[in-house]
């Protein structure tokens, strides 16, 4: 739009300090909505110097907008796509497993065979190179090593636990079985954590351990020698659970003792 | 053959910040770092050398990311071989890896804030305040709410630099910090690093002599895993004093010759009779010392 | 604030951008673009708000809320008309929100619908000063002037004008109709 007039400095000043008469003021206000030249003159009247209103108001605004948008815990645990996928997969797995078991009425102890794989995968992924949003930079920080890996694994695996237990109970699986996978899962996860302190690749160890567990649990039932729930109850029995607990604690203790090697590597 | 200089240490009133002796690191049969010894105090030190000279390995050792096979190392008076001491060093350390791969889904502010969390800063308000300050120092204020993947390579490099600077480290280890920066930005980098160098030691690597001249007070020239020369950038240029000349033919006495213009060649080596020496540059000195030690 | 030329970005270029381009850039989380918008529009917005409300703290909050709204919902700008008019629409409603923090849901919904579009009346008023209308407006009593300003100039609804002026809606309506009558009589 072509402007027919511009406000002079005197008029702008009178408006700014409130001494302008109503009509010129109303006229100027309407004019300012469409004239960037006069807005510029208006801004020039009160330059941005330290302590001026415009600086003070900007600082207050900046204080509001300059906040990280996501939660620190989420950034530690679920930031990268790989971790988010793992988290979702483990929850989905634990959500669908009991449904599959009860709907299909399979002969295999599917739930017992696969549920412990969720925490195991979480630990393996937490060790993964791509799990760290800051990449190699993170290795030179005081929390580098087992502390951050453990925090990440717990953050990824923990939400899966109530989901797995809850859904299994909801669908009428016996309490012993709904809870029975937790200690074997913890033991397997702890073994993967331990492998991270050695030269072994945690993801390979996780894949191997996971498959071994699944095969070991489903083999007797698959070969039709024993019914599925006998195996499940065997896993849930006190001696098996106690063994899992001992393995988990021993592996965790060893991992903590060897934590040094996680962040101070002798290889590239 | 290790060269130990104590100049930097005597300049710094607080004394030695980094000292290393006989540091060796091998990958398979190849020694990436071979009996390196150094003593560094406050200031900005450039590690200069060709690709594959072992700069990155040395810097990763100094950043406590990699353990040396042999040798003794002391960072800020602490031995990083001991876990407790290493954690303490890391609290006071900033590290910029060679090709920092930062997750692109974060904003620069979130990334720097996240690294501050890794550096054990628990107070969220203070952390944010510091993050905003370091992002301003590297000129990223305007883009600090964009996703990192939407930024240019040079800007991503500066996000990583800001992450290294968070927490006011006394020891700053930067692997090729000037990658992706134009000359004007290199000057800006220098003023950012100058602040850290007043309170601590900045070690940076580069294969660019212009960067060393622009950024560093001291130079370590590294070749084949060893430190083959150390001194100031001016002294490095001085090495070629009377040993650099120009002509338009190939010279048998030259250790190294390269074309500088149409038909003009520049040589370093033993000045032939009758040739008039040229004014030496840091480039000349660097090419000369790396050739002499081979 | 305080744009220090630190050498990192030799050519920032925001100064050459139009307001509409800046709002687009704010949509891509460009903080620098928000800063430029703020530098351009905060001075007149704050002054105009101060003329409606003497409480500096309320004006500060209204300014902050305006630009927070721009930062968080730049898509509210549909690319029509002047960015300045859009900003004023947000600003005057932010101020109203301060004056009347417990507006009920129904009213808020109503506010959402009434777009802060610039009316044809404003264009007339832009050149009103030396006209007969201007003279007639100046002759109105301050009470009537305030109502005309709030409804015609600031583009507020009757309810909003009532809240801004601290009088019942019915009074706004009756004063507006009186002002209309007086203006018509003065002009005919």
Q: Compute the distance between CA of residue A93 and CA of residue C71 in angstroms, rounded to an integer.
A: 40
Per-residue CA distances from B288 to B76, B228, C17 (Å):
33, 11, 51
Convert the pLDDT of each residue in A144-182 to its tens digit.
878 888 888 888 778 778 888 888 888 777 888 888 888
The answer, for A32 touching chain B at a CB cutoff of 8 Å, is no
Q: What angle do CA C40, C45, C50 make, to 5 degrees?
A: 145
- Among A75, A264, A266, the residue with its CB nearest the CB of B110 is A75
* Total Cβ atoms within 10 A of residue C103: 16
Q: List chain C residues with CB under 8 Å of A3.
A: none
B141/C32 Cβ within 8 A: yes
Residue B62 CA from chain centroid, whole number: 11
Q: Compute the distance between CA of residue A208 and CA of residue A117 in angstroms, rounded to an integer.
A: 11
Contacts of B101 (CB under 8 A, 6+ apart): A135, A136
Residue B285 CA from chain centroid, whole number: 18
Find residues 5-24 of chain C whose CB sits inside 8 Å of chain B: 6-10, 12
* Spatial contact of B229 and B3, defined as CB atoms under 8 Å apart: yes
C60/A57 Cβ within 8 A: yes
* Spatial contact of A61 and C64, defined as CB atoms under 8 Å apart: yes
Which residue carries 């000369």 as its tokens?
B288
Per-residue CA distances from B114 to A134, B108, B238 (Å):
8, 10, 45
Q: List chain B residues with CB under 8 Å of C8.
A: 138-140, 158, 185, 188
Q: List chain A residues with CB under 8 Å of B64.
A: 140, 264
The answer, for A53 touching chain C at a CB cutoff of 8 Å, is yes
What's the pTM? 0.81
- Residues of chain A with confidence (pLDDT) below 70: 1-4, 77-79, 82, 101-102, 104-108, 224-225, 228, 263-268
The helix or strand, by DSSP H or E, that contains position B291, with its residue range, turns out to be: helix B282-292
| Phi, psi torsion values for B261, nearest 5 degrees | -165, -170
B150 is written with which tokens? 């939407």
* Spatial contact of B159 and B147, defined as CB atoms under 8 Å apart: no
C109 is written with which tokens? 């919904």
A140/B117 Cβ within 8 A: no
| pLDDT in the model for residue C3 | 42
Numbers of helices and strands, H then E, in chain B: 10, 12
Which of A257, A15, A262, A265 shows the shortest CA–CA distance to A126? Answer: A262
| pLDDT in the model for residue B11 | 41
Convert the pLDDT of each residue in B94-116 to its tens digit.
999 998 888 888 899 999 998 99
Find residues 155-184 of chain C whose CB sits inside 8 Å of chain A: none
The answer, for A47 touching chain C at a CB cutoff of 8 Å, is no
Read off the pLDDT band of C43 (50, 70, 90): very high
- The CATH class of the C119-188 domain is mainly alpha
Find residues 33-52 of chain B whose CB sits inside 8 Å of chain A: none
More confident residue, B186 or C10: B186
Residues C14-27 have a mean pLDDT of 91
The yes/no answer on whether domain C13-113 falls in CATH 1.10.1740.10 is yes
Read off the pLDDT band of C124 (50, 70, 90): very low
Read off the pLDDT band of B73 (50, 70, 90): very high
Q: Least CA distance to C128: which residue of chain A?
A: A27
A149 is written with which tokens? 């890996």
Read off the pLDDT band of B175 (50, 70, 90): very high
| Phi, psi torsion values for B71, nearest 5 degrees | 105, 165
Q: Compute the distance between CA of residue B148 and CA of residue B49 in angstroms, rounded to an integer.
A: 31
Q: Least CA distance to A12: which residue of chain C?
A: C44
C32 is written with which tokens? 């620098």
Please report, in angstroms and rounded to a whole number, the separation of the first and last CA atoms in chain B. 12
* Spatial contact of B266 and B260, defined as CB atoms under 8 Å apart: yes
* Spatial contact of C51 and A51, defined as CB atoms under 8 Å apart: no
The answer, for A256 touching chain B at a CB cutoff of 8 Å, is no
* Spatial contact of A86 and A156, defined as CB atoms under 8 Å apart: yes
Taking 70 as the threshold, does the pLDDT of residue C12 lie above it?
no
* Spatial contact of B225 and B32, defined as CB atoms under 8 Å apart: yes
Read off the pLDDT band of C145 (50, 70, 90): confident
Is residue B73 classed as helix, strand or coil in its secondary structure? strand
| pLDDT in the model for residue C115 | 42
Which residue carries 């969720």 as its tokens?
A118
% residues pLDDT > 90 (chain C): 30
CB pairs under 8 A between B and C: 39
| pLDDT in the model for residue B159 | 94
A30/C123 Cβ within 8 A: yes
Q: List chain A residues with CB under 8 Å of B163.
A: 134, 137
The answer, for C29 touching chain B at a CB cutoff of 8 Å, is yes
Convert the pLDDT of each residue in B236-264 to its tens digit.
988 888 888 888 888 888 888 888 878 88
Q: List chain B residues with CB under 8 Å of A72.
A: 113-114, 117, 124
Domains and CATH numbers, chain B: 1-92+170-232 (3.40.50.300), 101-168 (no CATH), 237-292 (no CATH)
A41 is written with which tokens? 């003159």
Which strands form B70-75's sheet, in the order they lie side by side? B30-40, B18-27, B70-75
Which of B35, B1, B48, B3 shows the shortest CA–CA distance to B287? Answer: B48
Which of A120, A134, A128, A132 shows the shortest CA–CA distance to A89? Answer: A120
C181 is written with which tokens? 């009558």
Q: List chain C residues with CB under 8 Å of B158.
A: 8
Q: Any idea where the domains of chain C sit in the sequence?
A: 13-113, 119-188
Find residues 100-139 of chain B whose CB sits inside 8 Å of chain C: 107, 138-139
- Among A137, A143, A264, the residue with its CB nearest the CB of B95 is A137
Q: List chain C residues with CB under 8 Å of B138.
A: 8
Taking 50 as the threshold, does the pLDDT of residue B1 lie above it?
no
Q: Compute the distance between CA of residue B288 and CA of residue B267 in angstroms, rounded to an integer.
A: 9
- Among C6, C10, C30, the residue with its CB nearest the CB of B143 is C30
Please give the full DSSP string across B141-178, using - where no structure is assigned: GGGTTS-GGGS-HHHHHHHHHHHHHTT--SEEEEESTT
A53/C46 Cβ within 8 A: yes
Q: What angle do CA A183, A188, A192 make, to 5 degrees?
A: 145
Measure C75 CA to nearest chain A CA, in Å: 17
Which residue carries 């195991």 as its tokens?
A120
The answer, for A142 touching chain B at a CB cutoff of 8 Å, is yes
Q: Least CA distance to C67: which residue of chain A?
A: A61
Per-residue CA distances from B32 to B21, B36, B56, B68, B204 (Å):
15, 10, 9, 10, 17
Q: List chain A residues with CB under 8 Å of C134.
A: 23, 27
Q: List chain C residues with CB under 8 Å of B143.
A: 30-32
Half-sphere exposure of C43 (CA within 13 A, CB side): 22
Read off the pLDDT band of C100 (50, 70, 90): low
Strands (E), chain B: 18-27, 30-40, 43-48, 70-75, 93-96, 171-175, 201-206, 218-223, 226-231, 244-247, 254-261, 264-269
Q: Any idea which of B24-38, C69-83, C94-108 has the lowest mean pLDDT?
A: C94-108
Helices assigned H by DSSP within chain A:
9-16, 22-32, 36-45, 53-65, 72-77, 81-104, 110-114, 117-127, 146-157, 160-170, 175-180, 182-195, 202-222, 228-236, 238-257, 260-263
Convert the pLDDT of each residue in B204-240 to its tens digit.
998 888 888 888 999 999 998 999 999 999 999 888 8
Would the ipTM clear 0.90, i.e. be above it? Answer: no
Q: What angle do CA B62, B67, B69 make, to 5 degrees?
A: 115
The answer, for B190 touching chain C at a CB cutoff of 8 Å, is no
A134/B118 Cβ within 8 A: yes
| pLDDT in the model for residue B76 | 93
Chains in contact with B, where contact requires at least 3 CB pairs less than 8 Å apart? A, C
A48/C134 Cβ within 8 A: no
């Amino acid at each position: 739009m072509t402007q027919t007039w511009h406000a002079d400095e005197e008029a702008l000043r009178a408006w700014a300090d409130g001494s302008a008469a109503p009509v010129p003021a109303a006229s100027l206000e309407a004019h300012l909505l469409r004239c960037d030249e006069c807005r510029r003159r208006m801004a020039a009247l009160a330059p941005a110097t330290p302590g001026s209103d415009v600086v003070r108001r900007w600082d207050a605004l900046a204080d509001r907008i300059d906040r990280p948008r996501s939660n620190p815990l989420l950034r530690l645990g679920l930031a990268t796509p790989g971790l988010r996928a793992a988290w979702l997969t483990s929850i989905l797995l634990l959500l669908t497993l009991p449904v599959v078991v009860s709907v299909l009425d399979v002969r295999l102890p599917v739930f017992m065979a696969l549920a412990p794989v969720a925490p195991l995968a979480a630990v393996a992924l937490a060790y993964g190179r791509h799990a760290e949003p800051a990449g190699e930079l993170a290795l030179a920080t005081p929390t580098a090593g087992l502390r951050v890996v453990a925090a990440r694994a717990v953050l990824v695996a923990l939400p899966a636990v109530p989901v797995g237990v809850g859904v299994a109970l909801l669908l009428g699986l016996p309490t012993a079985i709904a809870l029975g996978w937790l200690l074997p899962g913890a033991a397997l996860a702890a073994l993967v954590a331990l492998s991270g302190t050695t030269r072994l690749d945690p993801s390979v160890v996780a894949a191997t351990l996971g498959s071994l567990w699944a095969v070991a649990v489903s083999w007797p039932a698959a070969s039709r020698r024993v019914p599925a729930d006998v195996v499940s109850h065997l896993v849930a029995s006190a001696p098996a659970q106690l063994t899992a607990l001992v393995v988990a604690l021993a592996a965790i203790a060893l991992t903590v003792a060897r934590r040094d090697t996680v962040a101070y590597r002798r290889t590239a | 053959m290790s060269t130990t200089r104590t100049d930097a240490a005597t300049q710094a009133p607080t004394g030695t910040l980094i000292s290393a002796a006989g540091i060796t690191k091998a990958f398979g049969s190849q020694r990436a770092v071979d009996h390196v010894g150094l003593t560094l105090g406050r200031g900005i030190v450039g590690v200069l050398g060709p690709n594959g000279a072992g700069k990155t390995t040395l810097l990763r050792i100094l950043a406590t990311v990699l353990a040396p096979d042999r040798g003794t190392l002391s960072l800020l008076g602490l031995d990083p071989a001991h876990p407790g001491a290493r954690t303490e060093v890391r609290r006071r350390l900033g590290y910029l890896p060679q090709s920092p791969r930062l997750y692109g889904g974060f904003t620069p502010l979130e990334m720097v804030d996240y690294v501050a969390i890794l550096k054990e800063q628990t107070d969220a308000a203070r952390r944010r305040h510091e993050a905003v300050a370091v992002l301003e120092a590297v000129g990223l204020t305007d883009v600090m709410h964009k996703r990192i993947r939407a930024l240019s390579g040079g800007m991503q490099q500066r996000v990583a630099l800001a992450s290294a600077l968070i927490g006011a480290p006394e020891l700053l280890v930067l692997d090729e910090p000037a990658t992706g920066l134009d000359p004007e930005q290199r000057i800006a980098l220098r003023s950012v690093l100058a602040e850290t160098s007043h309170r601590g030691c900045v070690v940076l690597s580069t294969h660019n002599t212009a960067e060393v001249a622009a950024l560093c007070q001291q130079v370590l020239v590294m070749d084949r895993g060893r430190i083959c020369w150390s001194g100031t950038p001016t002294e490095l240029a001085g090495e070629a004093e009377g040993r650099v000349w120009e002509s338009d033919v190939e010279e048998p006495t030259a250790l190294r010759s390269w074309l500088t213009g149409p038909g003009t060649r520049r040589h370093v080596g033993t000045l032939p009779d009758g040739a008039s020496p040229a004014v030496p540059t840091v480039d000349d000195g660097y090419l000369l010392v790396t050739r002499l030690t081979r | 604030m305080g744009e220090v030329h630190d050498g990192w970005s030799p050519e920032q270029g925001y100064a050459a951008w139009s307001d509409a381009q800046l709002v687009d850039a704010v949509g891509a989380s460009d903080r620098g673009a928000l800063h430029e918008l703020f530098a351009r529009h905060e001075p007149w917005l704050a002054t105009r708000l101060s003329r409606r409300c003497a409480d500096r703290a309320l004006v500060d909050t209204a300014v902050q809320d305006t630009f927070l709204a721009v930062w968080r919902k730049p898509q509210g700008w549909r690319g029509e008309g002047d960015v300045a008019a859009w900003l004023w629409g947000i600003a005057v409603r932010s101020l109203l929100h301060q004056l009347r923090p417990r507006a009920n849901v129904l009213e808020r919904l109503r506010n959402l619908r009434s777009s802060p579009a610039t009316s044809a009346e404003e264009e007339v008023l832009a050149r009103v000063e030396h006209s007969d209308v201007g003279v007639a407006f100046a002759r109105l009593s301050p009470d009537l002037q305030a109502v005309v300003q709030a409804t015609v100039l600031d583009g507020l609804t009757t309810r909003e004008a009532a809240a801004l002026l601290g009088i019942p809606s019915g009074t706004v309506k009756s004063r507006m109709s009186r002002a209309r009558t007086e203006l018509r009589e003065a002009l005919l």
